[in-house]
Structure 1
Amino acid sequence: MNPTTVAIRAGGTRAWIELRQAFTSTQGLLNLFLFPILILIALFFMRHGSFHETGLKLGTLALPGVLGSVLAFNGLYWMTEYLVLDREDGTLLRAKAIPNGMVGYLIGKLGASAGQVLIQVAFLLVVGGLIVGGLSVDGVGGWLTLAWVVTLGLLAVLPLGAILGSIIEGARGTFFLTMPLMALIGISGIYYPITVLPGWVQALAQVFPMYWLGLGMRSALLPADTVVVEIGQSWRHLETVAVLGVWALIGLLVAPMVLRRMARGESGSTVASRREKALQRAY
């Protein structure tokens, strides 16, 4: 059998094992469901609020954007954290020592990250939809829109996570990454329509995937008349495809180069140095 095919199959098996392990440990369950539960609590208290004179429920407007933010934030952050931690404890070095081991490793991590994000999205969609009500998937077209937004969104953020994971050093680096990510989510119209924000903030938000993921999810899950609260009163599907597609293209082109360069620099001495630094921080 072709070595690359063997590596791909091994990566798929690794992804399945890691997903299964997430449901068999307290830490794994907390990682999967704590943040979604906190979001659901916030949505519960927002469910009766309305957006100005439109009468549209804030909870209903917020839920699709929340789903987009989970795709963007967790897809990027988890992939980053996987690489940072596995570089630090030597897992990535061991994968590098196996023929085509890096291929299997990356496929496994991409699959595990995507799977965990999709589980969170499905959980929030079902339970959140029951809490806030008002969601409306318009037939086959709505489900198809949901499918391409989720797929293109994951393609846009997972490679970026791999790039950041190859650059950032140590768990402290991933902690500081959360601050700019939360800031981007804060200006991306996730919990409140972006049209109420200043024009320059709206322009900045539209550079990044978070806003477009939220917009795409709203176009799939909300009634057609809710488009009145969006920029230009349009779902802008073509622009959504373009922006997410550009981010995906950049990530898929740059990530392999950065990963190869990072892998060449991995050695026993670098892993030992990282462990020593980690122990110094601990004490």
Structure 2
Amino acid sequence: MNTIQHSVRLGVRRGWLEARQMMTNREDLFNTFLYPAIFVIVMFFMRGAKLPGTEFSLGAATVPSVLGASIVFSGMLGMAGVLAVEREDGTLLRAKATPNGMIGYLVGKVVTVSMSTVIGMLLVLIPSLILFDGIAPGGLTSWLGLLWVLVLGLLATMPIGAIFGSLTSNARSIGLIMLPTLGIGAISGIFYPITALPEWLQYLGQVFPMYWLGLGMRSALLPDSTVIIEIGQSWRPWETLGVLSVWAVIGLTLAPVVLRRMARRESGSSVAARREKAMQRIG
């Protein structure tokens, strides 16, 4: 086994251990369960409303959109937040000092963030299957559709998150990433039909992966009768595959370059300077 394979194996093990620690830490557990619980409660109270132009429950129709949004927020912001925090506390510097340590570190973070994303989605999906009728009407086909959208969605969002995390100067800068992400969510039609927006906003929303993740999840989990609310009254699976693939290629191409440059700038003095600034803010 060569050194890179060994680093990858260590990264997978590290990611698994971090995910296990997250599920045994009281604060992490609270954060993990809080937002899915809020979404499920809100969707439950929406169950009596109807999706415009259909007899399908608005609460049930919102489930796949929430799942698509969770991939963006967990995959992109989760990765960005982890890199920003561990860059500031010196974890990245220690990884850099180890042979092939950055490879193992990044593999570990991919595993941790992916598992966190899947757990969050299951916390929404499992109660929704009990509370709502009509979700995943295609059986195995629906679940396979959800799987490929999930995998491609993580590939499209986590590298972008790694880039943002590398470019931020400290963990508190993550808020500057969250605000535009929320803005993109507002124009992506993730929680309501994008066709209700002005046409120019529809085109703008389709540039970003959040719209396509929501569309992909809806195409997998909703009946065909609900497609009338979509652009062109079509699920557009090939367009979904194409746009998410483009974002994945862009992220996977740029992320290694940005991460290498960030790692080269890391030093003991830079970590010490960031810690000193943090202590000054606390003081």
How high is the TM-score relative to the length of structure 2? 0.97
Query: How many angstroms apart in 1 are the aligned matches of 2:53 and 2:153?
Result: 32
2:82 maps to what in 1? Answer: 82
Pairwise CA distance, 1:23: 1.2
| DSSP-derived class of the 2:191 partner | coil
Contact 1:153–1:244 (8 Å) recurs in 2: yes
CA 1:22–1:225 in 2, change beyond 3 Å: closer, same or farther?
A: same
Contact 1:47–1:60 (8 Å) recurs in 2: yes
In structure 1, runs of 5+ residues without a counterpart are none
Q: Could you give the per-residue CA deviations for residues 120-165 of structure 1, whole angstroms, max 9, x where no partner exists?
A: 1112111123233321341332222111111100000000011111
Q: Residue type matched to 2:205 in 1?
A: A
Pairwise CA distance, 1:49: 1.1
1:32 maps to what in 2? Answer: 32
Query: How many angstroms apart in 1 are the aligned matches of 2:184 and 2:129?
Result: 25
| DSSP-derived class of the 1:129 partner | helix
Contact 1:43–1:132 (8 Å) recurs in 2: no
2:198 maps to what in 1? Answer: 198
Further displaced range: 45-54 or 85-94: 45-54
1:178 maps to what in 2? Answer: 178
1:140 maps to what in 2? Answer: 140
The RMSD of aligned alpha carbons is 1.1
Contact 1:66–1:190 (8 Å) recurs in 2: yes
Query: How many angstroms apart in 2 are the aligned matches of 1:54 and 1:45?
Result: 18
Contact 2:85–2:170 (8 Å) recurs in 1: yes
Query: Are 1:167 and 2:167 counterparts?
Result: yes
1:232 maps to what in 2? Answer: 232
1:71 maps to what in 2? Answer: 71
| DSSP-derived class of the 1:252 partner | helix
2:119 maps to what in 1? Answer: 119
Query: How many angstroms apart in 2 are the aligned matches of 1:136 and 1:253?
Result: 34
Pairwise CA distance, 1:55: 2.4
Q: Residue type matched to 1:11 in 2?
A: G
1:188 maps to what in 2? Answer: 188
Aligned residues: percent identity?
52
Query: How many angstroms apart in 2 are the aligned matches of 1:108 and 1:20?
Result: 12
Query: How many angstroms apart in 1 are the aligned matches of 2:52 and 2:111?
Result: 41
Q: Residue type matched to 2:51 in 1?
A: F
Contact 2:164–2:177 (8 Å) recurs in 1: no
Query: How many angstroms apart in 1 are the aligned matches of 2:148 and 2:203?
Result: 24
Pairwise CA distance, 1:243: 0.4
CA 1:139–1:52 in 2, change beyond 3 Å: closer, same or farther?
A: closer
Q: Residue type matched to 1:4 in 2?
A: I
| DSSP-derived class of the 2:48 partner | coil
Query: How many angstroms apart in 2 are the aligned matches of 1:267 and 1:53?
Result: 59
Query: How many angstroms apart in 1 are the aligned matches of 2:240 and 2:172?
Result: 33
Contact 2:44–2:59 (8 Å) recurs in 1: yes
How high is the TM-score relative to the length of structure 1? 0.97
Further displaced range: 55-64 or 258-267: 55-64
1:44 maps to what in 2? Answer: 44
Query: How many angstroms apart in 1 are the aligned matches of 2:161 and 2:174?
Result: 10
Query: How many angstroms apart in 2 are the aligned matches of 1:132 and 1:262?
Result: 46
Query: Are 1:12 and 2:32 counterparts?
Result: no
Q: Residue type matched to 1:74 in 2?
A: S
Q: Residue type matched to 1:202 in 2?
A: Q
Query: How many angstroms apart in 2 are the aligned matches of 1:258 and 1:245?
Result: 20
Query: How many angstroms apart in 2 are the aligned matches of 1:41 and 1:279?
Result: 40
Pairwise CA distance, 1:276: 1.1
Query: How many angstroms apart in 2 are the aligned matches of 1:95 and 1:135?
Result: 44
2:92 maps to what in 1? Answer: 92
Query: How many angstroms apart in 2 are the aligned matches of 1:124 and 1:137?
Result: 17
Query: How many angstroms apart in 2 are the aligned matches of 1:53 and 1:155?
Result: 34
